Amino acid sequence: MLGNNKSNATIDKEQLELLKNAQKRIQQKKRLYIHFVVFLIGSVFIIILNLILGFGKTFKLFNTDWFVFAILAWLFLLLYHTFNVFITHKFMGKNWEQTQLEKLVSKQKKRLEEIKNTLPNQENSNTSEIKKKTDLKKNITIIAAVANNNAIGKDNQLIWHLSDDLKRFKALTSGHHIIMGRKTFESFPKPLPNRTHVVITRQADYKVPHEVMVVNTLEDALDVSRHDNQPFIIGGGEIYNQALKFADTIELTRVHENFEADTFFPKLDVSVWQETVSHHFKKDEHNNHDYSFISYTRI
Ligand SMILES: NC(=O)c1ccc[n+]([C@@H]2O[C@H](COP(=O)([O-])OP(=O)(O)OC[C@H]3O[C@@H](n4cnc5c(N)ncnc54)[C@H](OP(=O)(O)O)[C@@H]3O)[C@@H](O)[C@H]2O)c1
């Protein structure tokens, strides 16, 4: 969708993601193994401490030596750790998500084949048309809070505090890829939970926490988010400017005031963007300004 010559880059990104996940799994299993060894050594040590060196010999619970309870408690922690590694992380981690996505994609491909077969005398070019249309179902969404004068930020910070806007941002973006410029990423105290961060920078070796993905172009950011049916472009000004042409939807919070700022949202072309939903809200104890939630779709 975003370029003609993407296949190699696509494979590299996929492999990179899988490699990252594999490394994560290896680390998790290594830590569990170390925990197991420490548990064995620790248990022997506690037994020697109690039975041979006589430490806490007189301290008993239910007529049983204390070391039995200590070891049982530790064993419980070890079992919990094992459960986490082999059940929680296995089934709810990235690998599991990836497998589910692949299953979904293969189902969609099958469905596409069925549709193709039901259409008589279709040329090959029609197949690629259908494919293109399926690709276009992805809903690339820009999400932004924008003042009346299009201000969005100053000194790499937001200018206002709107509790409801933050809640809406969380509700809409949770579980999705959030694509952002390096400066916006640096404006966060830490990565946001339950979202895949994709940070765009021109720097070759920009360092981020391991769960954050770094790319060098906006096209690559959209490419690594291609399995997400609604990746969000979350700013800032530079990225909004470049991303507008790729977006299908805009979720805008219009803050009904003018602000002094150093970063602005691009002016929307009304011949391209149609307002589909709009809800107006008055300021209250949690929101310092009047605001509206407005959805736009590409005409
Ligand atoms: N109101 C809102 O909804 C909202 C949302 C988000 C952010 N903001 C505000 O917006 C401000 C930040 O926006 P900003 O425009 O200054 O910065 P930004 O868009 O967040 O990030 C700019 C950086 O992104 C990288 N970049 C941009 N285009 C690129 C490209 N084509 N290829 C590779 N890298 C590229 C560059 O990083 P390198 O310099 O590392 O190469 C560039 O310096 C802050 O004040 C923030 O609070 C507001």
Q: What is the pLDDT of residues 207-244, one digit of tens each?
A: 999 899 999 999 999 999 999 999 999 999 999 999 99
Q: Whose CA is nearest to atom 9 of ligand 1?
A: 153
pTM for the structure as a whole: 0.64
The band of 132, judged by pLDDT with boundaries at 50, 70 and 90, is very low
What distance in angstroms lies between residue 241's CA and the mean position of ligand 1's atoms? 10
Decide the pairing of beta strands 151-153 and 263-264: antiparallel
pLDDT digits (tens, 9 = 90+) for 17-35: 667 777 788 888 999 999 9
Confirm whether 254 is domain-assigned: yes
Confirm whether 81 is domain-assigned: yes
Confirm whether 272 is domain-assigned: yes
**86, pLDDT greater than 90:** no
Q: Tell me the two tokens of residue 200.
A: 């765009």
Q: Whose CA is nearest to atom 36 of ligand 1?
A: 201
* Residue 83 shares a structural domain with residue 227: no
Q: What is the mean pLDDT of residues 169-187?
A: 97
Q: Whose CA is nearest to atom 15 of ligand 1?
A: 237
Q: Tell me the two tokens of residue 112.
A: 């596409």
Q: Whose CA is nearest to atom 22 of ligand 1?
A: 181
Query: Which among 149, 158, 168, 184 is the best mutation to test ligand 1's pocket, defined by most ligand atoms within 8 Å of the CB?
Result: 184
Confirm whether 1 is domain-assigned: no
Q: Which atom of ligand 1 is nearest to the CA of 253?
A: 3
Of 32, 59, 92, which residue constitutes the final position of a domain? 92
pLDDT at residue 126, rounded to an integer: 47
Confirm whether 2 is domain-assigned: no
d(CA 232, CA 198): 10
Q: Which atom of ligand 1 is nearest to the CA of 262?
A: 45
Q: Which domain holds residue 146?
A: 139-298
Contact between 43 and 64 under an 8 Å Cβ cutoff? The reply is: no
What distance in angstroms lies between residue 292's CA and the mean position of ligand 1's atoms? 24
Q: Whose CA is nearest to atom 44 of ligand 1?
A: 156
Handedness of CA 252, 253, 259, 263 (dihedral sign): negative
Nearest 5°: CA angle at 152, between 147 and 157? 130
Q: Whose CA is nearest to atom 31 of ligand 1?
A: 217
pLDDT at residue 15, rounded to an integer: 65
* Residue 154 shares a structural domain with residue 168: yes
Instruction: Kindly compute the dihedral angle of the four CA atoms of residues 213, 215, 220, 226, in this order, to the nearest 10 degrees.
Output: 10
Contact between 8 and 142 under an 8 Å Cβ cutoff? The reply is: no
- Least confident interval from 123-127, 173-177, 181-185, 293-297: 123-127
Please give all residues whose beta carbon lies within 6 A of any atom in ligand 1, as ranges: 144-145, 152-154, 156-158, 180-184, 187, 200-203, 216-218, 234-239, 242, 263
What distance in angstroms lies between residue 135's CA and the mean position of ligand 1's atoms? 27
d(CA 97, CA 91): 8
* Residue 39 shares a structural domain with residue 110: no
* Residue 129 shares a structural domain with residue 175: no
Q: What is the CA radius of gyration of the chain?
A: 26
Counted domains in the chain: 3
What distance in angstroms lies between residue 185's CA and the mean position of ligand 1's atoms? 8
What distance in angstroms lies between residue 245's CA and the mean position of ligand 1's atoms? 17
* Residue 219 shares a structural domain with residue 250: yes
* Residue 86 shares a structural domain with residue 109: no
Q: Which helix (H) or strand (E) holds 191?
A: none
Confirm whether 267 is domain-assigned: yes
* Residue 251 shares a structural domain with residue 144: yes
Question: Which of 50-59, 133-142, 213-222 holds the top average pLDDT?
Answer: 213-222
Question: Which of 5-19, 24-38, 89-103 holds the top average pLDDT?
Answer: 24-38
Q: What is the largest CA-CA distance in the chain?
A: 90
CATH of the domain at 231: 3.40.430.10
Query: Which among 143, 157, 183, 222 is the best mutation to test ligand 1's pocket, defined by most ligand atoms within 8 Å of the CB?
Result: 183
* Residue 175 shares a structural domain with residue 121: no
* Residue 145 shares a structural domain with residue 262: yes
* Residue 202 shares a structural domain with residue 282: yes
Q: Whose CA is nearest to atom 30 of ligand 1?
A: 217
* Residue 163 shares a structural domain with residue 291: yes
* Residue 150 shares a structural domain with residue 260: yes
Query: Which among 186, 202, 220, 259 is the best mutation to test ligand 1's pocket, defined by most ligand atoms within 8 Å of the CB?
Result: 202
Confirm whether 263 is domain-assigned: yes
Confirm whether 274 is domain-assigned: yes
